[in-house]
Structures are given as C-alpha cells and as structure tokens.
Amino acid sequence: MGKTYNWAVLGCGHIAEKFSTDLKLLRNAKLYAAASRNLQKAQNFAAEYGFEMAYGSYEEMVADPKVDIVYVATPHSHHRNHTLLCLNNKKAVLCEKAFAMNQKEAEEMVATAKENNTFLMEAFWTMFQPSFNKAMEIIKSGELGKLKIVRSDFAFHAPFDKTKRLYNINLGGGSLLDIGIYPVFAALTSLGIPETIKTFANFSETGSEESISIIFKYKDGEMANLTSSFAAYSPVQTEYWCEKGHLTLNARWFTPTDITIWKEGGSETKIPNMLKNGWGYQFEAAHVMQCLDEGKIESEKMSWKTSLDLMKILDRVRIDAGIFFPKHDKNLFSEMK
Ligand SMILES: NC(=O)c1ccc[n+]([C@@H]2O[C@H](COP(=O)([O-])OP(=O)(O)OC[C@H]3O[C@@H](n4cnc5c(N)ncnc54)[C@H](OP(=O)(O)O)[C@@H]3O)[C@@H](O)[C@H]2O)c1
C-alpha cells in the first residue's frame, strides 16, 4: 500500500471545487491545503471542502514542507509561472489544461521538472477516463478496420462578457485553449501529428477567438474535422469513422460517458458509462499518486511528449487562424519548430 499524499489546490476557482470533491474519493489523498490570492477565500474554500490549511498566497503554500502535490487550477496564462513556483519548491505538480500558452512555455515547465527532479503532469483528465480508454482500445484493435476520419466538437453558449476569463486574451481566453483543446486531443491521440492544418475562426469584440473550425490532414489521407465555440451549443461528441464501421463517444465525450459502435451490415452495440461515482477527476489524481509511489517524475500515460505535441499543434492552429496572445506570444512565428 502506497503512502498518503498531502494535496494542495493553487487557485480556489470553479475547477478546483470539482476536483476537490473527487479527491475525497481517494483513500491515499489528504485534502491538506487550499491556496488563494485572498486569505478569506482560501479559508472559505478550505472549510467547504475539508482542507486542513488555508493560505492567502500561493508562495506561502509552497513554502509549507508538508505539501506533497499541488493541483494548479489557475487560468492558462498563469500555468507556467505557478508550475515553476511549485517545481522550484520541490512540489509535485498536476497542472490543468491548457498546459501552457504555447510550446515555449511548456518546454520551460518540462525543463524545470527535470532540473528539480520533481513530478509534473498535465491534468488532461480525458486520458484517464474508462470510456475514452475503452474507445481507444477498440479503435486500435482494428476490429472496425482502419481509422480514416475523426470528427469531434465541444461548444457551448457563453454570452459575450469582456470581464470574463473566456473572453480575456490576457488570460488565454478564446474557445481553442479552453475547450477546442479537447477535439485537438481526440485527433492527436488517435491519428497523431497532422501534416497539414487549415482553419477558420471568428473573433469577439475583445479580439478573443469565439468559434473555430479546424481540419487536419495526415500523410495517408486521414482527416480530422474539429470544432469549438462559445457561440452555440454542440452535441459534444467524438466520432471515429473507420473502414468497417464507426464508434461514437457520446455526449459529453471527454468525460465519463457511454459508447455507440456501428458495424457494416447494420449491427449496433452500446457500452454503458462505467463511472460509479464522482465527476471523473479522481482517475488522474490517483494516477499521479501511483507515479509518485513508483518514484517517477513523468507519467508514461500522460507523458511530457504528449503535452508538448499538443501545445505544438495548438501553436500551429493559432498561427493559421491568427489567434495571438499579445502578452505571451511575442515571438510565436520565430519560435515555431
Ligand atoms: N479539466 C476540466 O474539466 C476543466 C474545466 C474547467 C476549467 N479547466 C481549466 O482550469 C483552469 C481554471 O479554470 P476555472 O474555470 O477554474 O477558472 P476560474 O474559476 O476563473 O478560476 C481560476 C482561479 O485562478 C486564480 N487566479 C490566479 N490568478 C488569476 C488571475 N490573474 N485572474 C483570474 N484568476 C486568477 C483564482 O483563484 P484565487 O482567487 O483563489 O487565487 C481563480 O479563482 C483553466 O486553465 C481551465 O482551462 C479545466
């Protein structure tokens, strides 16, 4: 039996609430510290979710020697700085998606994990969902024939509000890094790195991207057709179109969900949702503790290469679509590799 780990959340926002609820499901996780830029907010959060300590600054929290693992739950624009703060204080890090604002930042984060010999993983929870893994197993088994086309979407209506994170380009606002990253992840994990990328994007009054359609083309003719948007609701499905049938990860495909498989000849089967309790964040948290039990600083399941490949593709998508973050992207073109 592994040890019990003291978890801290860095940033007491929306996702930190859901994650903390799921952390309670794990017997080897202790909800130890809540850290906010505001002490009262941290205290309220700690009281509500059962954390032992509350800190009014992120710096004070990382100075606590009892903290083992930090869940970085701030806007994407701050992932690099907050991850570096934790790693340089030898805290294992589970950092929310998008891992960083661009590939360069992601590379710095990985380099800092190596320098400090300290664990780092992107909190890409889909990678740990039983339904997503079952779908990947079926697709990769070849029972539906060769995968030729991936169609994936994630959109919801978030009315324009320039004060909100989703529309603030200095916080990485725009649908792509917030939710479009999921369809891009679906393509990366099934078809790999695309040869060609074409996009169309629509922008809001703040200059943030509101809707984006993306097409990837691969060297053997495979395609991915990906969409994200804050302008309308989508079915939130991912479909894998193969030579002998198709598989659909039903709504909301990136969370614990059910699967529909259609095979040529007309037969259809369904695999029900395998989630027993929680939102589905417990799987990534359990995996982090397993990696630490095994003395690892990198997860083989959600590897640094996967996070770097994802950021690299997102940079290429942004360059094609003209999506720039002025505070972070000074040299996006020249830094592209
Ligand atoms: N995996 C998922 O399902 C999922 C779902 C939603 C979001 N996310 C990701 O999680 C991250 C946070 O999203 P969220 O929806 O939780 O955001 P949010 O509710 O706006 O919370 C972000 C928190 O970050 C902290 N923060 C630090 N510097 C900030 C700044 N300059 N401006 C605003 N907040 C700042 C704040 O915490 P304090 O005030 O306590 O310091 C704030 O409450 C994003 O990267 C997002 O992509 C993931």
Hey, which residues does 209 pair with through a beta bridge? 203
Q: In degrees to the nearest 10, what's the CA dihedral of 227, 315, 190, 234?
A: -10
pLDDT digits (tens, 9 = 90+) for 51-79: 999 999 999 999 999 999 999 999 999 99
Same domain for 135 and 78, yes or no, is no
The overall average pLDDT reported for the chain is 96
Same domain for 220 and 90, yes or no, is no
Pocket test for ligand 1, best of 41, 74, 96 (most atoms within 8 A of CB): 74
Whether residue 200 is contained in a domain is answered as: yes
pLDDT digits (tens, 9 = 90+) for 25-34: 999 999 999 9
Same domain for 290 and 162, yes or no, is no
Q: Dihedral of CA 187/193/197/203: which sign?
A: positive
Q: What is the pLDDT of residue 303?
A: 98
Same domain for 115 and 143, yes or no, is no
- Residue closest via CA to ligand 1's atom 43 equals 13
Does residue 36's CB lie within 6 angstroms of at least one atom of ligand 1? yes
The tokens describing 185, both together, are: 């992840």
CA 56 / ligand 1 centre spacing (Å) = 16
Same domain for 103 and 192, yes or no, is no
- Residue closest via CA to ligand 1's atom 33 equals 75
Percentage, residues of the chain above pLDDT 70? 98
Whether residue 183 is contained in a domain is answered as: yes
Does residue 76's CB lie within 6 angstroms of at least one atom of ligand 1? yes
CA 230 – CA 38 distance, rounded (Å): 29
Task: Provide mean pLDDT across the span 104-115.
Answer: 98
Task: Give the domain CATH number at 92.
Answer: 3.40.50.720
Whether residue 253 is contained in a domain is answered as: yes
Same domain for 15 and 105, yes or no, is yes
Whether residue 309 is contained in a domain is answered as: no
Q: What is the pLDDT of residue 172?
A: 96
Does residue 327's CB lie within 6 angstroms of at least one atom of ligand 1? no
Whether residue 301 is contained in a domain is answered as: no
CA 325 / ligand 1 centre spacing (Å) = 17
Q: What is the pLDDT of residue 32?
A: 99
Q: What is the pLDDT of residue 337?
A: 46
Same domain for 160 and 224, yes or no, is yes
Same domain for 118 and 214, yes or no, is no
Whether residue 335 is contained in a domain is answered as: no
pLDDT digits (tens, 9 = 90+) for 143-194: 999 999 999 999 999 999 999 999 999 999 999 999 999 999 999 999 999 9
Task: Give the domain CATH number at 229.
Answer: 3.30.360.10
The tokens describing 5, both together, are: 């780990």
Please report how many Cα atoms fall inside a 13 Å half-sphere around the Cα of residue 36, on the Cβ side: 18
Asked if 99 and 122 count as a contact pair (C-beta separation under 8 A), the reply is yes
Overall pTM > 0.85: yes
16-38 CB burial, b ≥16 within 10 A, e <16: beebbbbbebbeebbbbbbbbee
- Residue closest via CA to ligand 1's atom 6 equals 15
Q: What is the pLDDT of residue 2?
A: 73
- Residue closest via CA to ligand 1's atom 18 equals 13
Pocket test for ligand 1, best of 96, 175, 182 (most atoms within 8 A of CB): 96
Range of the domain at 208: 130-277
Same domain for 209 and 241, yes or no, is yes
